Amino acid sequence: MGTEILTVKPTEAFGRITAQTFKQVILQKVREAERDTIFNEYNGRVGELVTVIVKRAEGPDLIVDMGRTEARLPKREQSKLETYNIGERLRVVIKMVDRAAKGPQVIVSRADASLVQRLFEMEVPEIYDGTVQIRHAAREAGERTKVAVMSRDKDVDPVGACVGMKGMRVQSIIRELRGEKIDIIPYNEETVAFAQKALSPAKVTRVQITDPENKKLEVIVEDSQLSLAIGKKGQNVRLASKLIGWDIDIKSEEEKRQEIEAEMTALTAPTTPLTSLAGVGAKTIEKIEAAGINSVEKLAGMTPEQLMEIPGIGEKMVDKIYQAVNRFYESSGEAAAATGEAAAGAEAPAAEGEAEAAGTAETGETGEILDSDGSEEVAQAEAAAEETPTGEETAPEAGSAENKGEAGQAEEAKS
């Protein structure tokens, strides 16, 4: 059992073609055995940190020498801040091994988050021996990386262990990554507390879980901290979302206040039921209400695309709905205009009555002023008017006076 028995076969009967075919089969089997060996060797080393030498460039990709085989560094796995030269030594992480037709292709990466984790394991002894663990890491290669760490020993500070004395440990990693920024965050099992730390350096006011099933968070920050929390082109919030595994919606205090005011206004505002729409059938209204639209005002604020997402609503039905909504608002506008005209007509007589009452009040006030302030002067004027005779009465009296004067003179002459 297990013994190899070699049997010699005569080769004199083989011709040139048979010998060449035999040679090709042997070489093919040898190459397949080499491919299988390479695949089995590197497939189990995925995620491992290795040192390679840049050998040549093939378009945007780089071919690097790993010793026993060549690997490919695709453009998507290269850092944005880095440029590479032929013969340069690089630290890369094995991303995957692809069993291609030409043989297994080893793909290495300089942009994967696992590269940062492997570098921390090399630089930080506490991580290597398991005292400090890297729970999560999120990276945008060439720009920023967020790493969440925790300690198994309560006497060991995980963040301080990763930073090192005067930042020596983390600075060596930053140099290896060509100046990429690294945020080291303490890990927390509570999602709310972890989210607050993940958005550093921004200061978070409060965090609220809005949808636990779909993993959605709402984060409120001060107005001055909004741009810092979002980051450059949304980088900070995007990395924090990757780090904690939740979708984050960031709002400022002012935006949240306006949102609450709008909700309160919507709750107190009057709504019109969909049955008020003329020309829309009951079945269509049931379909719309099943989608959560219960008022004409809410229906009017929807786009045609949103309406077509409702099951059973097509393009023709959308046009019909919009026509009904337009007719509703036109009739509402005409009714409002008629109501305004009626109100204006009712206000006109009231305004005239108010003007007359105001005139009467002014006349009464004037009389009171005359009676109170100039009563003596008015009485004297009336007395003078009564004593003063008219023109016709004054003339005869003046003539009689003259006649009396002449008669007196005549009597004196006679005497």
Domains along the chain with CATH numbers: 27-109 (2.40.50.140), 112-187 (3.30.300.20), 190-269 (3.30.300.20), 274-342 (1.10.150)
Specify the pLDDT at position 148.
95
Mean pLDDT value of segment 240-258: 91
CB 321 within 8 A of CB 289: no
List strand residue ranges (DSSP E) for 222-268, in order.
Answer: 247-252
Specify the pLDDT at position 375.
43
The CA-to-CA distance between both ends of the chain, in Å, stands at 206
Which residues are CB-contacts of 226 (< 8 A; sequence separation ≥ 6)?
A: 250, 252
Which has the minimum average pLDDT: 129-138, 187-196, 335-344, 383-392? Answer: 383-392
Task: Report which DSSP code applies to 75.
Answer: G
Task: Report which DSSP code applies to 276.
Answer: G
SS3 94: strand
Specify the pLDDT at position 161.
93
Q: Which residue has the higher pLDDT, 351 or 129?
A: 129
Specify the pLDDT at position 391.
40
pLDDT per position as a tens digit, 310-358: 888 888 888 888 888 888 878 776 665 666 566 555 555 555 555 454 4
pLDDT per position as a tens digit, 159-175: 999 998 988 999 999 99
β pairing state of 89-100 and 61-65: unpaired
The two structure tokens encoding residue 290: 């099943």
Report pTM.
Answer: 0.59
CB 191 within 8 A of CB 246: yes
Interhelix angle 315-373/375-387, rounded to 10 degrees, is 60
Mean pLDDT value of segment 60-80: 89
| Count, residues in the chain | 415
Specify the pLDDT at position 6.
82
Type of residue found at 216: K
- Number of C-beta neighbours around residue 82 at 10 A: 16
Query: Rounded CA gap, 145 and 48, in Å?
Result: 19
CB 65 within 8 A of CB 37: no
Specify the pLDDT at position 365.
43
Averaged pLDDT score across all residues of the chain: 79
The two structure tokens encoding residue 366: 């004037």
Q: Is residue 408 scored above 60 in pLDDT?
A: no
